[in-house]
Structure 1
Amino acid sequence: MTTPRGARGAVPRHDDRRRSFPQVAPREAPDGRFAATWWGNAWVEALEDTALDPARLARGKAYAGRGHVDAITVTPGRVVAYVHGSRPRPYRTEIRMRTLGDDGWERFLDEATARPDHIAALLDKDVPHALEAVTGLLPAPGDLVPDCSCPDDGYPCKHAAALCYQAARLLDEDPFVLFLMRGRGEQELLAELTRRNAALSAAETTAAAPPMPTVPARAVFAAAERSGLPLPPPLPAPDRPGRPAVFPPDPHAPDPLALDLLASEAAVRAHAFLTTGHDPVAALTPWQDAVRLAAAHPGSGLTASTRALYRDLSYALDRTPTDLARAVAAWRQGGAAGLAVLEDPWDPPAGPFDRARPALIAADFPAFRPWRNRLSTDSLQLRLGRDGLWYGYESDAGREDWWPRGAPDHDPVGALTDLLGR
């Protein structure tokens, strides 16, 4: 018997073209701007440039800042939310915009896959200006059409303005929300970028390296043995690791992006072993190798592929994604030595550690409390590594939630100065 669609027990199908975001917590904007990225500010400017009443914009910005905008739903061409006003019942508010046609998406995908740094930027939640220039992803003045159930006929009303400002915060955190507004979901775009990148890599490999004629190894060894001549010298090692194979998307196969990462890592290790006779990661523990893999992945846990990688690696080693994210920050700070500083407190001998506190006080830094190899205030910490370097850490005041920050330094004052960005 076929289970009716929507029947109890049926597995819901993921809709890549519909995303809902919980209410954004109110926050202050000291500089008066709601967006932190250039594309987020461009979104706001598109509405502000066509607004007929600056006073309504100001009230809408105040509404957004006070948390009057409920959960936001984004679908192609539409951003919808309920916005609380002066009446008990909230108003249904939406911003409409046109979606990109197939030609526009073709231009976007062609430009994105033409340069590897564009793909890396997108995975890291960044939008290169070149992609916007080619496709016109961002709205121009007049492209955003506000609508609201309130009786105010302003263009826009304060509720629509509030929704627009809050939507800019979503764009700051994830530019794939902008792509969804323009008509394509995140998974759909990532799959197409992966397919095109794989096809391009295969074409480059075929064009750059025509197949070489082959001889069975058994025949070569037999001929050398019969003639008493030495075997020919091995072929020279390539200058760089090879490109990974093509992994087309398949619903029953592992994630193509994860396979590409693992294949690239294997190629780098094989090339190092071939050229130096040494495997650079052979001495690592499974946990250290997992941290190294995650640290080599572009992004910082914000993309779908990165989140999946963190989840799978941490689950395999009985850790949490937060444990892995903290370890990745330590690895990016100082490699295996930085990871050891994160995880292994130790008792340093007298000398550099004892001289650190007077040096910090002389540089007008606050007094630090010592504990083993660590010097701490309520929100700053320096850790002395076994390699003689000082590593900076930060935490919210009053919480023992330390995260690696800044570059290590032989001088504790230098490490703290880098941590504070002075």
Structure 2
Amino acid sequence: MTPRTPARFADSRHEDRRRTFPALQPLEGEDFASSWWGNAWVEALEDTALDRARLTRGRAYARRGHVDAITVTPGRVMAYVHGTRPRPYRTEIRLRTLTDGDWDDFLATAAARPDHIAALLDKDVPHALASVADLLPTPGDLIPDCSCPDDGYPCKHAAALCYETARLLDEDPFVLFLMRGRGEREILADLSHRNATRSAAERTGAASGTPVPTVPASEALAARPLPSLPPPFAPPAHPGRPPAYPQTPGAPDPLALDLLATEAASRAHTLLTTSTDPLAQLTQWQDAVRLAAAHPGSGLTASTRALYRDLAVATDHTPTDLARAVAAWRQGGLVALAVLEEPWDPPAGPFDRARPALIAADFPHFRPWRNHLSTRSLQLRFGRDGLWYGYESDPDREDWWPRGTPDADPVGALTALLGR
């Protein structure tokens, strides 16, 4: 028969797993958080958001004190947020709680080092502890819900609640632990028990006087045949995932670290399984374009804009140069990038037959220059691979951007460009 939990302990644990914070004063400074874990919370919100305008309004709501008292329970943050209507909206942020196994790993790691325990008591979170059990939210880990009619993800009220929650986390990281499923008193009691058990075991071992096993030096250094090496492990089916890198003042950008680590893992996996490195022949500029093209949502988030800016500066280009090159890479890879950057004089043949074919298809106004056929706003470029690549520009601007799908038929490439 399983013993029942004493009522007093159960009530105490229930109280420990629910905390309500009074409404915060309007914020006068710039940042909602100064700690690395508070900033990680803000970044998880902003990287998930689909609408930057709603984030801006949410920040304004939070700064002006529109968020009432905040209640935190395992897996949930709730508050009433004042909007444009007289009645406030009930707003929630939900996130995953940790399993008992995750908590056991976290507490065992914390108890193994006195400096970790001291840091937690001082309301600080060592980076090593945060990575043990995925305490920090990642993009997509925060799920907003609000009673308002706005279907934004998140709406401005949920964004305001997230920003105000970052201020709570900044002051007390145990709020983050509570969101993940354990209260402060419960965590500290467990750490105290583990620390006492560890100290008792160390004292018992020291008092027993058990000799440390040794091996004579002559035996250790004696020549002997070595066993055969075991066969190598089979390569994994997929590259491994890199760890999550938190934002830390003065440290490299976590997005850049994640991107480089992911690329390195993928490249190493390809080399391991095929004995070839497909990227070895790329120049620094070509590799920068490839990296930027692999990042989704170009230009939509602050992190993506920062990536484009840093890659452009590192390769002595402008962000616009990089964005144009990314468009070419997504159009057709390295060959399409060469089409963008390297005009050439094609031999007689397919290029010379292109203009009559376009005229026959009622596209008579293309003028030739090297491997280009252009109108005021449309252009076809003939690649060394025998394909035609579409480009567009504002009329008479000569600001050509890759568009459409390459095609061996110039009429087909132009049709794809025009979306017919």
Report the TM-score range of the alignment, normalised by the length of the smaller protein: 0.5 to 0.7
SS at match of 1:264: helix
The 2-side partners of 1:416 and 1:269 are apart by 36
1:255 is aligned to 253
CA deviation vs aligned residue, 1:334-385 (integer Å, no higher than 9, x gap): 1111111111100100101111111111112242111000111111111011
Given that residues 59 and 163 in structure 2 are in contact (C-alpha distance below 8 angstroms), is that contact kept between their aligned partners in structure 1? Answer: no
CA contact (8 A) 2:372 2:379 kept: yes
Counterpart of 1:353 in structure 2 is: 351
The answer to whether 1:270 aligns with 2:268 is: yes
Q: 1:315-334 residue pairs with structure 2 within 5 A?
A: 315-334=313-332
Alignment partner, residue 106 of structure 1? 94
What is the CA–CA distance in structure 2 between the aligned matches of 1:404 and 1:137, rounded to whole Å?
41
Task: Please show how residues 272-421 of structure 1 align to structure 2 within 5 Å.
Answer: 272-421=270-419
Alignment of 1:5-404 (within 5 A): 14-15=30-31, 75-76=60-61, 95=84, 98=88, 101=91, 104-107=92-95, 135-137=144-146, 139-140=148-149, 178=156, 182-184=160-162, 227=225, 230-404=228-402
Contact 2:391/2:403, CA 8 A, preserved across alignment: yes
Q: Deviations over 1:238-295 (max 9, x none)?
A: 1111111232332232222221111100000000111111111110000000000001
Determine the C-alpha separation between the residues in 2 that align with 1:179 and 1:261. 32
Contact in 2 for aligned 1:272/1:279 (Cα 8 Å): yes
Task: Tell me how large the CA RMSD over aligned residues is.
Answer: 4.2
8 Å contact 1:75–1:180 — kept in the other structure? no
SS at match of 2:247: coil
1:416 CA displacement: 0.9
How far did 1:398 drift? Answer: 1.4
Structure 2 Cα separation of the partners of residues 182 and 403 of structure 1: 39
Tell me, what secondary structure is at the counterpart of 1:383? strand
Task: Give the gaps of 5 or more residues in structure 2.
Answer: 1-27, 34-49, 65-82, 99-137, 171-175, 181-219
Q: Distance in 2 between matches of 1:375 and 1:228?
A: 70
SS in 1 for 2:310: helix
Q: Distance in 1 between matches of 2:95 and 2:255?
A: 22
- Change over 3 Å in CA distance of 1:406–1:16 after alignment to 2: farther
Partner Cα distance (2:158, 2:419) in 1: 36
1:145-175 CA distances to partner (integer Å, 9 max, x unpaired)?
xxxxxxxxxxxxxxxxxxxxxxx9xx8xxx6
TM-score, scaled to structure 1? 0.54
Identify if the C-alpha distance between structure 1 residues 181 and 240 changes in structure 2 by more than 3 Å, giving closer, same or farther: closer
CA contact (8 A) 2:89 2:147 kept: no
Structure 1 residues 324 and 353: alpha-carbon distance in aligned structure 2, compared to 1, 3 A threshold: same
- TM-score (structure 2 length as normaliser): 0.55
Q: 1:181 to 1:271 in 2, by over 3 A?
A: closer
CA distance in 1 between partners of 2:278 and 2:240 (Å):
17
Aligned to 1:8: none
- The residue type paired with residue 301 of structure 2 is T
Q: Are the equivalent residues in 1 in contact too, given 2:392–2:401 (CA < 8 A)? A: yes
- Per the alignment, residue 211 of structure 1 pairs with none
Identity %, equivalent residues: 62
After superposition, the Cα gap between the structure-2 partners of 1:316 and 1:184, relative to the gap in structure 1 and judged at 3 Å, is: same
Specify whether residues 238 and 179 from structure 1 end up closer, same or farther in structure 2 by C-alpha distance, changes over 3 A only: farther
The 2-side partners of 1:401 and 1:100 are apart by 49
Q: CA deviation at 1:73?
A: 9.8
**Structure 1 residues 138 and 377: alpha-carbon distance in aligned structure 2, compared to 1, 3 A threshold:** farther
Q: Specify whether residues 368 and 254 from structure 1 end up closer, same or farther in structure 2 by C-alpha distance, changes over 3 A only.
A: same
Are the equivalent residues in 2 in contact too, given 1:100–1:182 (CA < 8 A)?
no
- What letter is aligned with 1:413? V
Contact 1:176–1:185 (CA under 8 A) maintained in structure 2: no
Cα shift at 1:309: 0.4
- What amino acid sits opposite 1:312 in the alignment? D
SS of the residue aligned with 2:252? Answer: coil
Contact 2:380 2:410 in 1 (8 A): yes
CA contact (8 A) 2:58 2:158 kept: no
Q: Secondary structure at the match of 1:358?
A: helix
Alignment check: 8 A CA contact 2:373 2:380 kept: yes
Q: How many residues align?
A: 268
Equivalent-residue separation in structure 1 for 2:415 and 2:340 (angstroms)? 20
CA distance in 2, matches of 1:316, 1:338: 22
- 1:99–1:181 Cα contact (<8 Å) kept: no
How far apart are the structure 1 equivalents of 2:402 and 2:328? 6
**Cα offsets for 1:75-117 (capped at 9, x unmatched):** 12799xxxxxxxxxxxxxx94695664xx2125999xxxxxxx
Greater gyration radius:
2
